[in-house]
Amino acid sequence: MPVLFVGHGSPMNIIQNNAYTQSLQKLGTTLPKPDAIPVISAHWLTRGTFVCDASQPQQIYDYYGFPEALYNIKYRPPGSPSIAHVIAKELTTHNIQLDHTWGLDHASWAVLKHLYPAADIPVLEMSLDVTKNEEDHYMLGKRLAFLRNKNILIIGSGNIVHNLREVNFNENADPFPWATEFDEYVKNSLLQKDHSRLTRKSDWGTSGKLSVPTNDHYLPMLYSIALQEENDNVRFFHESIQNASVSMRCFMIS
């Protein structure tokens, strides 16, 4: 199976018809139908790593102050306790813990609503351990490789550039130069298959510090790229920066 990284950006993308949402919808018509979808979510931060094993995960509206229409949308796929247990068993040395109370935050369902609108594929989330550094997350991502041979579609959902302190509420505002610079730095590193540049914060310079003021939205990408095998290529199926400081870059590894 391929691996995806999706920039999810503002919750407004849930109801927007724009180039970004259209790219997800188009991709969804060409992707194979997986047996389950684990999503590494930028919005589930924990001490230790958890996978959700709920059979019917709750839909979480983890945003505030947005139009009522965003709270009326239903996307409630089944969960996959069996895959959650397989992940926990396979990654015993990483002490992966099971959790049935979380559900699906908008890093998952806001994206999958466009990719697989029927909501008929089991979905489970995996959390981000806030005590780990970038290299730790990357190495943990590698341990998920066995799932690709089980018809499982792994998705990292975050944003490469995510600085809400500098956000412009005009979706189409001109990007900050530093946002464009770091977004291109990541793109070029991926094309060169140089993942080490993406886990070493010391290499990022000022543009990286401004683009990744906190690493919660950046880390899901590391899980996705960790799954790239020698013969895999990266295809960028969407490239843009919304609100001046949020990269919507999305790519597929296959």
Q: Residue 189 maps to which CATH number?
A: 3.40.830.10
The total number of structural domains in the chain stands at: 1
Span 188-232, pLDDT tens digits: 999 999 999 999 999 999 999 999 999 999 999 999 999 999 999
Measure the CA–CA gap between 88 and 52, rounded to whole angstroms: 10
pLDDT tens across 241-251, in order?
A: 999 999 999 99
Residue 197's pLDDT is 97
Amino acid 104: pLDDT = 98
Rounded mean pLDDT, 174-185: 98
- Whether 224 contacts 203, CB under 8 Å: no
74 in helix, strand or coil? coil
59 has which bridge partners?
104
128 three-class SS: strand
Which structural domain range is residue 162 located in? Answer: 3-253
Which amino acid, residue 228? Q
Among 132, 150, 99, CA closest to 141: 132
Judge whether 107 and 126 are in contact, CB under 8 Å: no
- Report how far residue 145's alpha carbon sits from residue 158's, in angstroms, rounded to the nearest whole number: 20
Q: Which of 42, 24, 43, 4 is nearest to 152 (CA)?
A: 4
What pLDDT score was predicted for residue 134? 98
Q: What is the mean pLDDT of residues 79-93?
A: 96
The span from the CA of 92 to the CA of 55, in Å, is 22
- Find, among 15, 37, 60, the residue nearest to 157 by Cα: 37
Q: What is the dihedral of CA 126, 129, 130, 135, to 10 degrees?
A: -110
* Backbone phi and psi for residue 40, each to the nearest 5 degrees, phi listed first: -85, 110
| C-alpha atoms less than 13 angstroms from C-alpha of 89 in its C-beta half-sphere | 9
The average pLDDT across 14-19 equals: 97
Helix (H, G, I), strand (E, B) or coil at 122: coil
Closest CA to 225 of 196, 184, 245, 202: 196
From residue 202, how far is each of 178, 198, 216 by CA, in Å?
Answer: 16, 10, 18
- pLDDT, residue 80, reads 98
Can you tell me which residue has the tokens 């401004």?
210
Nearest to 61, CA basis, from 48, 46, 76:
76
Q: Find the mean pLDDT for residues 34-62.
A: 98
Instruction: Give the residue-averaged pLDDT of 134-144.
Output: 98
Mean pLDDT of 121-139: 98
